Structure 1
């Protein structure tokens, strides 16, 4: 049986992968899962419950109660939530607690768009279309800084650049499901691109993958 048409969009923070994933979901009329929001929710909800974010088992108990439908809380998109997500994502129990939910989403019969760090390597390695979206740390820091300023958060560019470096090291260095491109993912560096240019480049990559998928029937 042929796998559904799944698009995985992996990459580091503020690379543009979320915007690209959203555009692709609209283009192909597919449901989208922002897996990073699951870890942000786990970190924020654990913090609210007074749970130590370095206690993987305790955070995992919180994570097991998370549902895709409950990810609309604005606090999940704050700078603090991003830091909390990076901290809790290193714990294997937390990753296991959230894995079944991600696998179920990836196996929807009609296909899906999956946005995250390990969607093409761990969650859906058989996906027909895989992108790894990246950009230089300086460009990513500037994007995130502007985004947080627009949200009313008082933060400096240098603070965000330090955040980016810390998160890259943590996400890429964790023992369980480290952030890295899948062997068959297409690398898309958006450093010098506008949103429209990046989205168009991503669409062309997916179109080529979709043609291969269609011809595999």
Structure 2
């Protein structure tokens, strides 16, 4: 009998390319990619459509009722060569990346009952193994027993430069100084929040990609994943 695939947790700082690398790993290994950030955005979109967010405040009772009914889905689009998000069978990838959702997702993601249910769903989705999951607390909270854990980082300056380039290429008018300040602020918030703070767990492999290309990262991580797979009983 063929061994089932591993559960691979990819955590790390903002603007380190976790999602990009995780999607490539999933495609190369034939694993399922689960975008935990998209799941929080899907909940936010659902809440907005149902009128459960007004003036930045969430109708907790209403959201608690609809939350268990949401069906999350991620499908790989061969033509676009990327994973895309679905809610209740509806394609919502573009909708959840819009500014309206972006402006409300942090409020929704901070709710303990939302995090609790999504962690439960994430564990259920990965029950059969063969999963790449990225986020802030995958190796520490969602899958503390994952067979492979990575922690991705890079210097704040390098991450700010990457983010600045990405934003300016989209036509946004920002300064490098503003972006760097935002990167450092997000690091502080992620590392000091009360619920599931960002930490590098002792058994996570550190990937500092300050001076690495995406391909170099992917090759290194694939070697580690395959080695762990082959050595597993």
Pair 1:9-2:10 in alignment:
yes
Give the direction of change, closer, same or farther, for the CA distance of 1:145–1:79 in structure 2 (3 Å limit). farther
Q: Are residues 178 and 54 of structure 1, via their aligned partners in 2, closer, same or farther at CA, if it must alter by over 3 Å?
A: farther
- Structure 2 SS opposite 1:193: coil
Could you tell me which residue of structure 1 aligns to residue 207 of structure 2? 188
Q: Distance in 1 between matches of 2:193 and 2:68?
A: 21
**Consecutive unaligned residues in structure 2, runs of 5 or more:** 74-85
The within-5 A match list for 1:18-167 is 18-43=19-44, 45-46=46-47, 49=51, 50-51=53-54, 53=56, 55=58, 57=60, 60-61=63-64, 63-69=67-73, 70=86, 72-77=92-97, 84-107=104-127, 109-167=128-186
User: Which portions of structure 1, spanning 4 or more consecutive aligned residues, are displaced by more than 6 angstroms?
Assistant: none
Calculate the aligned-residue CA RMSD, in Å.
Answer: 2.8
1:179 corresponds in structure 2 to 198
Q: Counterpart of 1:154 in 2: which secondary structure? A: coil
Contact 2:15 2:163 in 1 (8 A): yes
38-47 or 167-176: bigger deviation = 38-47
Is 1:199 the counterpart of 2:202? The answer is no
Q: Per-residue CA shift, 1:135-191, capped at 9, x if unaligned?
A: 112211222222233334333332322222222222221222111122211010111
Please report the TM-score for the alignment, with normalisation by the length of structure 2: 0.77
Q: Distance in 1 between matches of 2:166 and 2:190?
A: 21
Shift of 1:94: 2.1
Q: CA deviation at 1:23?
A: 1.5
Structure 2 residue 210 is the aligned partner of structure 1 residue 210: no
Q: CA deviation at 1:212?
A: 2.8
Gaps of 5+ in 1: none
Question: Number of residue pairs matched?
Answer: 212
The alpha-carbon deviation at position 204 of structure 1 amounts to 2.3
More helix by share: 1
**1:97-116 CA-partner distances (Å, limit 9, x unpaired):** 32222111121x24211111
Q: 1:210 to 1:5 in 2, by over 3 A?
A: same
1:132 deviates by 0.7
Q: Distance in 1 between matches of 2:100 and 2:174?
A: 11
How far apart, in 2, do the equivalents of 1:177 and 1:83 lie? Answer: 21
TM-score normalized by the length of structure 1: 0.82
Contact 1:12 1:168 in 2 (8 A): yes
For the pair shown, the structure with the greater C-alpha radius of gyration is: 2
Q: CA deviation at 1:89?
A: 2.8
